[in-house]
Amino acid sequence: MGKINWKSIIGWGIVVIVVGCILYFNQPKEMSGDKPTVKIGLIYPMSGAMGHIGKGVMNSANMVLDKINQDPNRQFNYQLISHDDEMKAANTITIANKLLGVDKVNVVMTSWSGPSNAAKPLMIENDLIHFTDSYTILSDGKNVFNCSVTNEDLAPMAFNFIKKRNAKKVALIFQQVPAGAEILSMLEPKLKENGIKFDEYLYGGTEFDAFRTMVAKVKANNYDLVLLYGWSPGIVFVARELKSQEVTVPVLGFDTVETANYDFTYFDGFYEIGKPYNIEWENFLKSKHPDAVYMYDAMNVIVNTYEKAGKTLDRIPTTKEFRDTIYQQRDYQGLIGNVHLEDNGLLRVPTFLKRIENGKIVPVEE
């Protein structure tokens, strides 16, 4: 029988202890203990032309959850389960079904009118909390909550802009999505009533030739102003063609610069309406797009509602209990300003007119 090598045994024992300590102390602190976990599903475009927006949104959501998960006095742990839907409604439905059936999430968050409209019936059918950011009137006050400016504010502001500038003839270049169609339905009667002529140029795909032909028609008609609504990549093609074909008339868009990530300084004047903008938010969230600000504020509302309900219930609240709790407070002071919760589930965000000046977004006081 050989001699026992005590030095070797002690050495390996120390290694095991050190490794064990490293593993223990590097466990995610926010998920330790026996607290229940609130699961939040995030469905946004994370790749392609809109990928920078989804990544900015995910960063904002994680900033809020990382902070609450470090609070030892929190009621729950919070987990974000994010997926890329490439801004395709069919993908949104597939992902939402997985989040509900497999991941058993408590909340689902979706982007804009197309994907959110597609997911809404599923959220209602399963009685789940659904948060979105859409210009369209999507919220129902029961399952669906929309934290955004809406077309009810955007359309009148666009009309007032057109009228104050005494525009007699306007080109309406709109992507064919639900939010764009809703804005047009609100604008058309007002333009007709006030004798303002307009032509609609609707697009859906990303074919270069189609944009070239469309903009050529815009140029030939000598409009006083171009009203622009759309998303990347189409909106970028429109802007490039306007510049290439030397259509320099003033342009009004809807959060277009933030959405398209494109330089619009070429035109005689570029304005937009939509959510507020502050360079400090951009630096803080590492994103220029207003969706990142919306997500930061919306996630804080969600977390605060769960925490408030949890202190009373001592468990994760049901959808009804979440709804009852969120309506106990109507005003939330967020990064974007005062957010007011209305009966229909709209978390109304202030609407602003902005201009692009030397490549910078500047609020306009009117």
Domain-by-domain residue ranges, the chain?
36-149+279-350, 151-274
Q: Are 285 and 264 in contact (CB under 8 A)?
A: no
CA end-to-end span of the chain = 95
Which amino acid does the sequence have at 262?
Y
| Residue 162 CB neighbour total at 10 angstroms | 22
Higher pLDDT, 298 or 18: 298
Higher pLDDT, 6 or 296: 296
pLDDT band at 21 (very low <50, low <70, confident <90, very high): very low
**Torsions phi, psi for 85 (to 5 deg):** -100, 0
Cβ-based neighbours of 116, under 8 Å, separated by 6 or more: 92, 110, 130, 132, 134, 136, 138
pLDDT of res. 9: 53
Q: What is the mean pLDDT of residues 143-166?
A: 95
- Topology of domain 36-149+279-350, CATH: Rossmann fold (3.40.50)
pLDDT band at 18 (very low <50, low <70, confident <90, very high): very low
Cβ-based neighbours of 97, under 8 Å, separated by 6 or more: 122
If DSSP states are collapsed to H, E and C, what string results for 271-291? EEEECCCCHHHHHHHCCCCHH
pLDDT of res. 116: 95
User: Which of these, 174, 285, 185, 273, lies nearest to 230 by C-alpha position?
Assistant: 174
Q: Do domains 36-149+279-350 and 151-274 have the same CATH topology?
A: yes
Q: What is the mean pLDDT of residues 8-16?
A: 53
pLDDT of res. 24: 42
pLDDT of res. 15: 47
Burial 117-156 (b: 16+ CB within 10 A, else e): bbbbebbeeeebbbbbbbbbebbbebbbbbbbbbbebbbe
pLDDT of res. 11: 54
Which amino acid does the sequence have at 239?
A
pLDDT of res. 30: 40
- Whether 1 has a pLDDT exceeding 50, the answer reads no
SS3 140: coil
Higher pLDDT, 337 or 101: 101
- Topology of domain 151-274, CATH: Rossmann fold (3.40.50)
Average pLDDT, the chain: 88
> Tokens at residue 137, please?
């009137």
pLDDT of res. 306: 98
pLDDT band at 271 (very low <50, low <70, confident <90, very high): very high
Percent of the chain with pLDDT over 70: 89
User: Which of these, 41, 127, 119, lies nearest to 87 by C-alpha position?
Assistant: 119
pTM confidence score: 0.85
Compute the 3-state secondary structure of the chain and give helix, strand, coil in percent, each to the nearest 5. 45, 20, 30
pLDDT of res. 27: 43
**Torsions phi, psi for 80 (to 5 deg):** -100, 125
pLDDT of res. 337: 85
Q: Is 71 left (phi over 0), alpha (psi -120 to 50) or beta?
A: beta
If DSSP states are collapsed to H, E and C, what string results for 57-99? HHHHHHHHHHHHHCCCCCCCEEEEEEEECCCCHHHHHHHHHHH
The predicted-structure confidence for 61-91, as pLDDT tens digits, reads as follows: 999 999 999 999 999 999 999 999 998 999 9
pLDDT of res. 111: 92
- Whether 17 has a pLDDT exceeding 50, the answer reads yes
pLDDT of res. 366: 62
pLDDT band at 29 (very low <50, low <70, confident <90, very high): very low
The predicted-structure confidence for 226-261, as pLDDT tens digits, reads as follows: 999 998 888 888 988 998 999 989 999 998 887 776
pLDDT of res. 10: 55
Q: Are 225 and 167 in contact (CB under 8 A)?
A: yes
Q: What is the mean pLDDT of residues 293-306?
A: 95
pLDDT of res. 208: 73
Q: What is the mean pLDDT of residues 283-290?
A: 86
User: Residue 285 and residue 304: Cα distance in Å, rounded?
Assistant: 20
Higher pLDDT, 123 or 34: 123
The predicted-structure confidence for 162-217, as pLDDT tens digits, reads as follows: 999 999 999 999 999 899 999 999 999 999 999 999 999 999 876 778 899 999 99
Query: Minimum mean pLDDT among 45-59, 93-107, 118-132, 190-204: which range?
Result: 45-59
> Tokens at residue 139, please?
């919220």
pLDDT of res. 6: 55
User: Residue 115 and residue 122: Cα distance in Å, rounded?
Assistant: 12
- Whether 26 has a pLDDT exceeding 70, the answer reads no
